[in-house]
Amino acid sequence: MALPSGNAIVAQSGGPSAVINQSLVGVIESLRGRDEVKKVLGARHGVKGMTTGQITDLSGVPAETLEAVARTPSSALGSTRDKPDRGYCEKILTALKQNDVRYFFYIGGNDSSDTCRIVSEMARSTGYDLRAFHVPKTIDNDLMENDHTPGFASAARYVAMSFMGDNLDNRALPGIKLNVVMGRHAGFLTASSAMARVAGGREDDGPHLIYVPESPLSLDRFVADVDGVYRKLGRCHIAISEGVNDEKGESIGAGLIKGEADAHGNAQLSGSGALGDQLVELLKKRLTPAGGKAPRARADTLGYAQRYWPDPSPVDSKEAREVGRFAVQTALKGDLTEASICIRRVSKPGEAYRSEIAAVRLDMVAAKTRHLPKEFLANGNNVTPAFIEWCRPLVGDLPKVGWL
């Protein structure tokens, strides 16, 4: 099938990550010098900028600037939380036609994949030859078809470094320390706190308890778990997902927090310390011995730093760049008019880490959510060695710990 000739456009969507600009630069650099591609355009703030004319010509940006952008966290073109419905997608298609765009690359999560899918379908039904490709990005690691998503490994690295330092802090001043980790539906990021144990290397290293949305949690069980560790070690170090659910499948966090819905209909869980503070109050109340003193207990809510910390995982930086390049290569091969790009792990457990990039149908990724597989979960309050082996190559080297 002959390739159409026209402009290309690239945009970024959803929560930024530490390496989303690697994917952006991977797309831009691979589009250059191709006969079919006239101009390389960028839409500011994702589909919002497309429909409001915030479009910039990136064709002449120097390679040196692109390299600096690639190493910069957050979304250099700006992002959006807009999740287009069909009417919105019609406006996007109109804007693409007006700008003579034949190649559309959208970097984001499963909502962005869905936007690609709808716009591509509309283009086809109106006889407009558009090539629409979804480039994966999410720190939550919740995209189907991916072993892991660009952005996850760097966020996991931040979480691992946090828990590593926090475990040492909790050893120095023993007590109960609880850290709330991002993740509405998928517990991958919270689970990565376990990598702190690898860095520490002592048997009683924290986190001692890890709670993820995939394992329902009763507050009674939670208090009993903490009590058990605290009695044994004189301290307890806890990781808990913001999206952890009770036995009825309802979010413990959402129940505690005065709801606010963002445009996607998701309860606002990030940017609030309420879940951690409430759980600490609960622990103090329930674990104070009769006539005794409440245990020292504190919560931190790991914030947006999880998605922008400027010390990305090396594997993540490399793969994020590659998925951007692969999207363009696939588009310009011409046999696929639309696809979602994904990362697959080729190496088996025990082998040196190797991954490959592949293209899958948009509807295999669009508007779906991947969860922590059962073989990574243990006892409702921990992860398995299989998870640690899976996560280890992703987070990169962690600082070595010295002991006295």
**What is the three-class DSSP state of 19?**
coil
Nearest-angstrom CA–CA distance, 112 and 366? 8
Selected from 4, 216, 228, 273, the binder of its own copies by CB under 8 A is 273
> Judged by CB under 8 A, which of 43, 77, 287, 357 binds its own copies?
77
Member of 287, 302, 359, 362 binding its own copies (CB under 8 A): 302
Nearer to its own copies, 7 or 179 (CB): 179
Determine whether 220 is an active site residue: no
Cβ nearer to its own copies, comparing 10 with 132 = 10
Q: At its nearest, how many Å lie between its own copies and the CB of residue 100?
A: 21
If DSSP codes are grouped into helix, strand and coil, which group holds residue 42?
strand
116-175 residues in contact with its own copies (CB under 8 A) are 161-162, 164-166, 168-169, 171-173
Q: Does 280 bind its own copies (CB under 8 A)?
A: yes
Report the phi/psi class of residue 259: left, alpha or beta, with left for phi > 0 and alpha for psi in -120 to 50. beta
Gap between the Cα atoms of 375 and 366, Å rounded: 25
DSSP 293: P
Q: Count CB neighbours of 399 within 10 A.
A: 9
- Does residue 298 belong to the site contacting its own copies (CB under 8 A)? yes
C-beta closer to its own copies: residue 167 or 251: 167
DSSP secondary structure string for all residues of 331-376: HHH-S-SEEEEEEEE-SPTTSPP-EEEEEE-GGGTTT------GGG
The binder of its own copies chosen from 23, 30, 51, 80 (CB under 8 A): 80
Does the footprint of its own copies cover residue 383 (CB under 8 A)?
no
| CB-nearer residue toward its own copies: 1 or 403 | 403
Q: Give the tokens for residue 242.
A: 């913001």
Identify the burial level of 60 via C-beta atoms within 10 angstroms of its C-beta, where 0-12 means exposed, 13-18 middle and 19 or more buried.
Answer: exposed
Strands 355-360 and 338-345: antiparallel
Using CB under 8 A, which of 139, 212, 299, 394 touches its own copies? 299
Active site residues: 140
Binding site for its own copies (CB under 8 A): 12, 15-16, 18, 21, 42, 45, 56, 58, 61, 65-81, 161-162, 164-166, 168-169, 171-173, 177, 179, 270-274, 276-277, 280, 298-305, 307-311, 399-404
